[in-house]
Amino acid sequence: MSEKDNGYLVGSNLEKVLREGHFAVTGELGPPQSADPAIIREKAAFLKGYVDAVNITDNQTAIVRMSSIGAGLLALKEGLEPVIQMTCRDRNRLAIQSDLLGASALGLKNLLCLTGDHQIFGNHPTSKNVYDMDSLQLVHMVTEMRDKGIFQCGDEIKGQTASFLVGAAAAPFADPTAFRPLRLAKKIRAGANFIQTQLVYDVKEFAIYMEKVRELGVHKEAYILAGVGPLKSPGMAKYMKKNVPGILVPDEVIDRMTQAGKEWIGKKAADLAPEEKKARSKAWKTEGIQVCIDLIKDIKKIEGVAGVHIMAIEWEEAVKPIVEGAGLYPRPEVK
Amino acid sequence: MITAEQKPLAEIQGLLGDAKKVLVVGCGTCVTVCFAGGDREAQIMAASLRMASKINGHPQEITDITVQRQCEWEYLDEIEKEIADADIVLSLGCGIGVQAIAEHFPDTWVVPGLNTTFLGMPTEQGVWEERCAACGDCILGLTGGICPIARCSKSLLNGPCGGSEDGHCEIDPEVPCAWQLIYDRLESKGKLDLLLEIQPPKDWSKSRDGGPRKIVRQDLRLIEDEA
């Protein structure tokens, strides 16, 4: 692996924080389903100072949104360091490489490579998908662009190449679970510098997964950030447990969320006055943030975990209390 | 084999319009085996259309005939007269059959009665499943005889995405996860090492992405290309 100035691959804030051994914090910012830059600025304001870098999703859940690169540049101008996301669903290898040359030229330095949610879940379910490559091949391609200065076809990139700190995702609890640590190792072998996992609510199971990862030794070759996210309600916890593949939500977590709204247990939303509903939601959300803080504290103790990736979906305000509550504020300043 | 299913009757009626003489042409090969467009289905289709046209008050003259294979000129030659007599031909062949009729009988207007669906097989009586995407570069030797191109919703080559749960694909609980099947099979054969190799991006030029494909076998040709 060729290392550039000061021994850094790209010298992004995220890379420096990780390299210096700080427990990293990344966040997530979902671009709007519009061309409105003000929404990016509003969301960025909640995250600035509380995360080392922020993932800018790429048509998440297959719903058309402002591009990750466009929104990423807006976030960069707001003083946040973006992690661009790139899925294999919407672009072939030409489009991916071309967009990444553009992203790199615009000063974007971190990239998360994803397969991408199937379009059937989004708002254009009749569209054609691409999947010219898979996420692992994407990781390998962008690593070679950076380190060897070549395009996927083998042609030399004449002049400045696209250089990113390359990330990949991991789903520790998806099936077949026995293969998951091996797949993580495979992604790291393909070139991933950092990993962000699917949401972790079951720390015990995650610790078992990490143990297998450590046996493979790959936690020393890439930085593994555990995915966490605040729950908004017991309903959300139950929904995820039941419907989202690869997410384990233990009963203790569901119980904590349920107990937080015990005053209103057995009451239907329709029977509650608006102010009661508000109070219940507030109680749930407060507990959701606390659960997230407790998860981070437990996860931080697991050997081989280099940080957390906080996914506060459409709830960017939650990041500040989570980061503060977990004792991760202020964020380190690196040079 | 090629599997297909019949279009809804209303759509077929729309395609036929008010043509007076309709010839329904069945095919005796793949679509016979999948019960979509064989001799029996052609007869039933003709009877249904006849009945429907009477109910509509615009009776049409509807006949049917089935050839061994709609996709070979020699079998189509056998029905030249019937085709010439018809105002419109409803092909119950796959998309290849419809095109073969159009190409072989340029004066004829032919419409499809089937939606050609996939290359697959019956897994039980009345159930057909996709097995092959005709990608032109078979990788079944690496995946234990289970095709991720045709059977993984994302055609992944390096293992399962995060949407694999309890053996099924996240897009539909009825869809098995191809990578779970591959994993189980390779594990049972002690060949998991195959899964750990990084598979490079696929050469899709051998698939449809390279444009319409053609195979030329000089050893079989009767007319040789001029040097």
pLDDT of chain A, 335 residues: tens digit per residue: 444 567 999 999 999 999 999 999 999 999 999 999 999 999 999 999 999 999 999 999 999 999 999 999 999 999 999 999 999 999 999 999 999 999 999 999 999 999 999 999 999 999 999 999 999 999 999 999 999 999 999 999 999 999 999 999 999 999 999 999 999 999 999 999 999 999 999 999 999 999 999 999 999 999 999 999 999 999 999 999 999 999 999 999 999 999 999 999 888 888 899 999 999 999 999 999 999 999 999 999 999 999 999 999 889 999 999 999 999 999 999 98
A207/B85 Cα distance (integer angstroms): 76
CB A31 within 8 A of CB A316: no
What the block records as the tokens of A108 is 């974007």
Residues B50, B62: Cα–Cα separation, whole Å: 6
Contact yes or no for B166 and A246 at CB 8 A: no
Cβ count within 10 A of residue A145: 23
pLDDT of residue A1: 43
| 8 Å CB contact of A136 and B158 | yes
Contacts of B162 in chain A (CB under 8 A): 115, 169, 171, 174, 198, 245-246
Interface of B with A (CB under 8 A): 153-167, 170-171, 177, 179-180, 183-184, 187, 192, 195-196, 198-202, 204
Q: Kind of pairing, strands B164-165 and B168-169?
A: antiparallel
d(CA B132, CA B128): 12
CA distance A177 to B181: 13
Domain around A307: 5-230+300-325
Q: Please report the sign of the dihedral spanned by the C-alpha atoms of residue B124, residue B185, residue B148, residue A62.
A: positive
- Residue A271 in domain: no
Handedness of CA B176, B180, B185, B186 (dihedral sign): positive
Query: Does residue A176 have a cis bond before it (omega within 30 degrees)?
Result: yes
How close A63 gets to chain B, by Cα (Å)? 15
**Strands A194-199 and A223-228: what pairing?**
parallel
Nearest of B30, B158, B45, B219 to residue A135 by alpha carbon: B158
Three-state DSSP state, A279: helix
Look at the block and give the residue holding tokens 């259309």.
Answer: B49
CA distance A17 to A31: 25
Q: Are B183 and A179 in contact (CB under 8 A)?
A: yes
Closest residue in B to A89 (Cα) is: B154
In order along its 227 residues, chain B shows pLDDT tens digits of 999 999 999 999 999 999 999 999 999 999 999 999 999 999 999 999 999 999 999 899 999 999 999 999 999 999 999 999 999 999 999 999 999 999 999 999 999 999 999 999 999 999 999 999 999 999 999 999 999 999 999 999 999 999 999 999 999 999 999 999 999 999 999 999 999 999 999 999 999 999 999 999 999 998 766 65
For chains A and B, count residue pairs whose Cβ atoms are closer than 8 Å: 95
Whether residue A283 lies inside any domain: the answer is: no
* Contact criterion met (CB < 8 Å) for A174 and B165: yes
Q: Domain count of chain A?
A: 1
In chain A, residues with a C-beta closer than 8 Å to the C-beta of B165 are 174-175, 245-246
Tell me the backbone φ, ψ of residue A234, rounded to 5 degrees. -65, -30
For residue A282, being part of any structural domain is answered with no
* A84 falls within a domain: yes
Residues of A with Cβ-Cβ distance to B159 under 8 angstroms: 136, 179, 183, 186
Nearest to A137 among B158, B160, B171 (CB): B158
Nearest CA in chain B to A179: B183
The C-alpha of A129 sits at a distance from chain B's nearest C-alpha, in angstroms, of 8
C-alpha distance from B194 to closest chain A C-alpha (Å): 12
- Verify whether the Cβ–Cβ distance B158 to A174 is below 8 Å: no
Q: Whole-prediction pTM value?
A: 0.94
The tokens of A297 are what?
Answer: 């504290």
- Does residue A295 sit within a domain? no
Closest CB from A116, A135, A246 relative to B165:
A246
User: Which one of B154, B177, B201 has the shortest CB-CB distance to A115?
Assistant: B154
Identify the structural domains of chain B with CATH numbers, from first to last.
2-118 (3.40.50), 135-210 (no CATH)
Asked whether residue A38 is domain-assigned, the answer is: yes
The ipTM, to two decimals, is 0.92
Looking at the domain assignment, is residue A182 inside a domain? Answer: yes
CA nearest to B199 within chain A? A137
DSSP A38-90: HHHHHHHHHHTTT-SEEEE-SSGGG---S-HHHHHHHHHHTTPPEEEEEESSS
User: Domain with A119 in it: what CATH number?
Assistant: 3.20.20.220
Please list the helix, strand and coil fractions of chain A in percent, rounded to the nearest 5, in that order: 45, 15, 40
Q: What is the pLDDT of residues B37-75, one digit of tens each?
A: 999 999 999 999 999 999 999 899 999 999 999 999 999
- Positive or negative CA dihedral for A184, A187, A191, A197? negative
3-state class (DSSP) for residue A9: coil
Q: Do B159 and A179 touch (CB under 8 A)?
A: yes
Whether residue A182 contacts residue B193, with contact meaning beta carbons closer than 8 Å, is answered with: no
DSSP state of B37: S
Inter-chain contact B159–A183, Cβ cutoff 8 Å?
yes
User: What is the pLDDT, as a whole number, of residue B226?
Assistant: 61
Mutate to test the interface with B, among A97, A114, A127, A131 (most CBs of B within 10 A): A131
Residue A237 lies in a domain: no
Amino acid A313: pLDDT: 81
